[in-house]
Amino acid sequence: MKLLITGVHGFVGTNLVQALSADNTIYGLDIVAPMTDGVRFTFSWDFLEKPNEIPEVDAIIHLAGKAHDTKNQSAADVYFKVNTELTKKIYDYYLKSKAKKFIFFSSVKAAADRVEGEYVDENVVPSPKGPYGESKIAAEDYIRSKEDERIKQGKETYILRPCMIHGPGNKGNLNLLYGVVKKGIPWPLGAFENKRTFTSIDNLCFIIKGLLAKDIESGIYNINDDEALSTNDLIEEICKSLGKKPRIWKLPKGLMNGMAMVGGLLHLPLNPERLQKLTENYVSSNAKIKKALGVDKLPVDAREGLKVTLKSFK
């Protein structure tokens, strides 16, 4: 197939290129345009306004977006300019093109900032909190507003809501956690017993390949590994990768919440939002995407995928 990937030089884009370039011709759309193995050419966003400048493709994968800033230093309008307006721009281009499939990377945070109950699935009524989730759900809403036009043209659109994606090249909160443990600093949040689902990049690439190759119904799909892990599980796996003995302290929750409040005021690494992200229960169900792909289990176990990521940090 011929593919156009926005944000192609980012973390997810780089891994997708490695997974897809052997069997597909890949073009990029990005704000940077380095020469990269597997990418035929990278266009700037301005090229969308130039008829016939970008080759016709079979599918578009829209990765470009403003990531969640846990330091709360990004203005709200930045999220909407990038996550919402760029999505509108590329989706309008898709509807006018000959491409037959569009894959949009939204986020579980577009559906729910917190999980009420055992897990969150695609039937949840969206209730995002903050500009990141709100800008993502606004993009989803725009895509859904074009449903009649999409159906009339016989095109398929997939809105993916992944949990935190990790893998080689990842530069998110998992790196920060790794750095803390590597320095020998005890983990003080052991009292928070939680369960979270993550998304290994290998499972994500497997799902994307399936969406491109198979006749899958348009819709919203949660994306995550099969197994849920706790933050304490993460600490233990990090320690194993470093050859260290886990140092997990179960300090009172009230004390840690208070320290996070102070950290938020002083712009320290531990703030209320990061504390929530590290300790909350957030389990997502991937039953719908597995049923659509016709699989009972994703190829990479959650712990095995985590080990690959941690190994890359060395």
Residue-wise pLDDT for 100-113, tens only, equals 999 999 999 888 88
Whether 184 is in a domain gets the answer no
Lowest mean pLDDT among 68-82, 159-173, 202-216: 68-82
- In-domain check, residue 143: yes
- Sheet (strand 39-43) strand order: 39-43, 25-29, 2-6, 59-62, 101-105, 156-162, 219-223
What is residue 71's predicted lDDT score, i.e. its pLDDT? 55
At 5 the pLDDT is: 98
Between residues 104 and 177, the one the model is more confident about: 104
What's CA 40's distance to the chain center, in Å?
24
How far apart are the two ends of the chain, measured CA to CA in Å? 35
Average pLDDT estimate for 145-154: 97
Q: Which two tokens stand for residue 127?
A: 């209730």
- Residue 311 in any domain: the answer is no
Per-residue three-class SS string for 232-282: HHHHHHHHHHHCCCCCECECCHHHHHHHHHHHHHHCCCCCHHHHHHHHCCE
pLDDT at 68 over 70: no
In a domain, 293, yes or no: yes
As a whole number, mean pLDDT of residues 46-74 equals 84
Residue 69's pLDDT is 62
Contact 194, 230 (CB under 8 A): yes
Q: Which tokens hold the place of 256? A: 């840690």
236 closest CA partner among 277, 178, 292, 293: 178
Check pLDDT > 70 for residue 123. yes
> Does residue 175 have a pLDDT over 90?
no
Residue 41, in any domain of the structure: yes
Chain mean pLDDT for the chain: 93
> Tokens in use for 311?
């190994």
Domain total in the chain: 1
Dist CA 1 CA 64 (whole Å): 21
- Indicate the residue type of 266: L
Confidence band of 86 (pLDDT split at 50, 70, 90) = very high
DSSP 8-state code for residue 55: P
pLDDT for the residue 309: 95
pTM: 0.91
Q: Each residue of 184-228: pLDDT tens digit? A: 989 888 999 899 999 999 999 999 999 999 999 999 999 999 999
Per-residue pLDDT at 74: 61
> Between residues 277 and 115, which one has the greater pLDDT?
115
The SS3 of residue 222 is strand
User: Is position 207 within any domain?
Assistant: yes
70 phi, psi to nearest 5 deg? -75, -10
What's the whole-number mean pLDDT along residues 291-304? Answer: 97
Residue 158 counted as domain residue: yes
Q: What is the CATH number of the domain that holds 118?
A: 3.40.50.720
Could you tell me the residue range of the domain that residue 117 belongs to? 2-169+198-224+283-299
Task: Report yes or no on 193 lying in a domain.
Answer: no
Q: Under a CB-based contact definition with an 8 Å cutoff, are residues 158 and 219 in contact?
A: yes
